[in-house]
Amino acid sequence: MTDPNEMGFFDHLEELRNRLIKSVGLWLIVFVICFIYAKPIFAWLAEPLVEISKSEHLFAATRFEEPFLANMRAAFWTSLILSSLIFFYHFWGFVAPALTKEEKWFAIPFIIFMALFFIAGCWFSFEYVFPYALSYLMEWNAGELNAFTRSSYLHMLFLFVMGMGVSFELPLVLLFLAKVGLVTSGFLLDKFRYAVVIIFIAAAIITPTPDPFMQTFLAAPILLLYLLGTGLAWLVQKKDEEEFEAMVQGADGDSAEDQDGTPISEDWQK
């Protein structure tokens, strides 16, 4: 195999293209399978609305092609979530050759947890966040004739699901930034008030209504994820400090000197 360190710019582009083709090809297989079972998948996705309204006859079609397009949309987003493991795997395959052995020990679980956290966020939103938001919105329709299009329902559903799935990546992003030395736990705690503002703005974008209570309900889990990421950053920082101290103590720094006569231990401390 070609040494990745000797690959040129266009060689890397070719490798990226091959990875993208493989990812999209495998995703298309998952999409076709999901589309074959689109009707039961849509029935499963509609369960939160069915449980709240206590009725299975809720959806109206304003156009002839609307049910077909809604089933396709349900298959598309479901296959995209299920294929996240494929995308993360090929992302790992693309960056792995450029990593050292030590970096791979960190990157392998990192990539795995990125996929698991994304799926966990989607599941958490579907099971808890979205049903609550839907119930809140349905209260405003009390006494009204409730008939919704499938597409409008799926649009709101996957807005919550995908938004929370991406939000669950926040602890891992902070962990990575701490690992490469861009942030520290103290810095994250110091900037917590700014994080609160940014998270509430993001929650306002995701939520379909300007209601502050629903916005808070969506922002609260993301704030907890930020604090979790801060804790992970502290663990990384503490581990790096312990490794540094062990390296200094393990060296014969009291007598060893570098070329300019400065003790090696003093150079490491600097």
Helix axes 101-124, 150-167, angle to 10 degrees: 140
2-16, 149-163, 197-211, 251-265: range with lowest mean pLDDT = 251-265
pLDDT at 97 over 60: yes
Which pLDDT score is estimated for 164? 87
Average pLDDT over residues 123-127: 90
pLDDT at 5 over 70: no
Which pLDDT score is estimated for 104? 67
Residue 37 in domain: yes
The number of distinct structural domains making up the chain is: 1
Residue 222 in domain: no
pLDDT at 99 over 90: no
Residue 30 in domain: yes
CB-based contact 229:184 (threshold 8 Å): no
Residue 216 in domain: no
Residue 52 in domain: yes
For 75, the domain range is 1-112+144-149
CB-based contact 100:36 (threshold 8 Å): no
Residue 190 in domain: no
Residue 119 in domain: no
* Token duo for residue 117: 């956290």
pLDDT at 252 over 70: no
pLDDT in tens, 25-68: 999 999 999 999 999 999 999 888 888 877 666 787 778 888 88
Which pLDDT score is estimated for 160? 86
- Give the Cα separation of 53 and 267 in Å (integer): 69
Which pLDDT score is estimated for 259? 47
